[in-house]
Amino acid sequence: MDKVNCIISQSATIRESLVKIKLNKIGMVFIYDENDRIVGVATDGDIRSCLLDHFTLADSIESVFNPNFVWRRDTDSRESILKLLDSQIKAIPILDSDSRLVDVITSSQFPLLIEQDVFARSKAPVRISFAGGGSDLTHYFMAEGGAVINATISLYCHVMLRPRGDLKITIDSLDLDESVSYDDLDDLFGKLDNFDLFRSLLKLIKPNFGFDLSVNSDFPSGSGLGGSSSVMVAVLGCFNEFRRDKWNDYELAEMAFQAERLNMGISGGWQDQYAPVFGGFNFIEFKKDNNLIHPLRLKDRTILDLQESLVLFETTSGRNSGSIHNDQKTNMQDKKVQRIVKKNVTHCYEMRENLLRGNLTEFGAGLNLSWKMKRQLSNKISNDDLDDIYEYAMANGALGGKLLGAGGGGFFMFYVKTFSKNSFLSAMKNRGLSQTVFHFDHDGMQSWTNRDTHK
């Protein structure tokens, strides 16, 4: 709308006002005073009435205009304006806080919202694994085939990503308790610091814009919950929000694997990347040509009962998952170890059947066998302190359990007998271990964008 033809000075004549009305085609003109404030409106109907009352075209419009008119502030909602238009108001002047004209809105000339800057957010859960550990290592399943059962839980990595108008990159990690700034992507690639995890991922993504990245997690480093993979997946999810051709779930998991296992050279299996992307309970088969994710359709009561029966405890033991996986890789040349892993895969199928049928007592007891097989894969997986914790838990009401992740520390998970939970928790508290409360996550990584209104 041409605002010039919609307004006229209160000292102008009726003739001049009619010329404006003819030009603006809205059937009215808005009157401004010596301070450019809109003080009234004169419609073509108002002017006709005055001319019939013996006013002349040379008379001032000031004697004609109506000071009681409909208007809206430039901060008012579009909804309120639409309602006025739907009430047969032909044109609505939009005024600023000083009552000066900002725009004139009509039903045919209602501008769209100006596209605002946006930022992306994401969250990716960590996983707990029940059976099949060791069989998701490439050097094993390429020959034998592997399978695992895992589920994601309500401990998340949270990421925010905001594109910048320049090539500068900032990364703020609460997990590392550190913030860094780089001039551009080349500067980031050339630095040696604690942000190698992000560097390896950005070498794959190669964003052509600068950005501010913020990361924080609900879980500690070295938890055995696949936390580093959840960080990778959450960061990928944010960048995916700014792509036209979005990566699918399998591609997201494969990129996270490539960045962590190949680019960074951290040894480990494949399940950690798939779990946070897909979420929920999954039975994952690993084969030479492809990996297949089979979501498990469990009854709600099965999920609730399992959630109430499982308990997580964080140990204080340190761990290095990469070195443990390297040791497993070496040990995998041993035929005895290969037979254990193969038995673990068979056990994984049995665990799946118990879970699907809701046989949770058998499932819980099966965790004990999972742990016994797991700890034979490497002498780095457990130690005297961890063995003491496990035996103590079993003696105080646990039906089965296992150390999560590669081993060496992190979180212990126990399945507790139905009416032993209170005494079990008391005993574990006396042992100096506190429970980490969780619920199962069914959504996997979620990402979305929102308007950046906090600049």
Residue pLDDT, tens place only, 361-418: 999 999 999 999 988 887 788 888 999 999 999 999 999 999 997 667 789 999 999 8
For residue 111, pLDDT beyond 90: no
Q: Per-residue pLDDT for 320 more than 60?
A: no
Distance CA 432, CA 152 (A): 26
What does the pLDDT read at residue 324?
56
What is the mean pLDDT of the segment spanning 426-451? 95
Q: How confident is the model at residue 322 (pLDDT cuts 50, 70, 90)?
A: low
Poorest-pLDDT segment among 320-324, 392-396, 439-443: 320-324
Mean pLDDT of 215-228: 90
pLDDT for residue 62 is more than 80? yes
State the pLDDT confidence band at 170, using cuts at 50, 70 and 90.
very high
Which pLDDT value is given to residue 333? 67
Q: What is the mean pLDDT of residues 424-434?
A: 94
Q: How many CB atoms lie within 10 A of CB 429?
A: 12
Position 114 scores a pLDDT of: 72
Whole-number Å distance between alpha carbons of 287 and 291: 6
- Judged against a pLDDT cut of 90, whether residue 108 lies above it is answered with no
pLDDT digits (tens, 9 = 90+) for 341-362: 999 999 999 999 999 999 999 9
Q: What is the pLDDT of residue 2?
A: 82
Q: Which domains does the chain have, with CATH numbers?
A: 3-106 (3.10.580.10), 119-441 (3.30.230.120)
* pLDDT score recorded for residue 406: 65
| Confidence bin at 242 (pLDDT 50/70/90) | very high
- 169-173 average pLDDT score: 98
Q: Check: CB of residue 113 under 8 Å from CB of residue 78.
A: yes
Residue 442 pLDDT > 70: yes
**Predicted confidence (pLDDT) at residue 323 exceeds the cutoff of 70:** no
Q: Does the active-site annotation cover 272?
A: yes
- Tell me which range, 326-330, 369-373, 450-454, is most confidently predicted by mean pLDDT: 369-373
4-14 per-position pLDDT tens digit: 999 999 999 99
The pLDDT value given to residue 318: 52
Neighbours of 360 (CB within 10 A): 20
Q: 162 Cβ partners below 8 Å, 6+ apart?
A: 117, 119, 120, 211, 212, 452
Q: Residue 1 above 70 pLDDT? A: no
- 229 by Cβ neighbours in 10 Å (0-12 / 13-18 / 19+) ranks as buried
The answer, yes or no, to whether residue 316 has pLDDT greater than 70, is no
Q: pLDDT at residue 167 above 80?
A: yes
Average pLDDT over residues 109-122: 85
By the 8 A CB rule, do 360 and 302 touch? Answer: yes
- The strand pair at 211-217 and 291-295 is best described as unpaired
Residue-averaged pLDDT of the chain: 91
Per-residue tokens: 209: 């814009």
- In this predicted structure, what is the pLDDT of residue 42? 95
* Residue 296 pLDDT: 97
- For residues 116-120, give the mean pLDDT: 91
- Average pLDDT, stretch 174-178? 95
What pLDDT, in 10s, does the model give residues 247-283? 999 999 999 999 999 988 887 889 999 999 999 999 9
- Output the CA–CA distances (angstroms, integers) from residue 183 to 81, 117, 165, 237, 455, in the order listed: 45, 22, 13, 24, 21
Catalytic residue among 136, 272, 327, 441: 272
Q: What pLDDT score does 376 carry?
A: 86
Instruction: Indicate whether 227 pLDDT > 80.
Output: yes
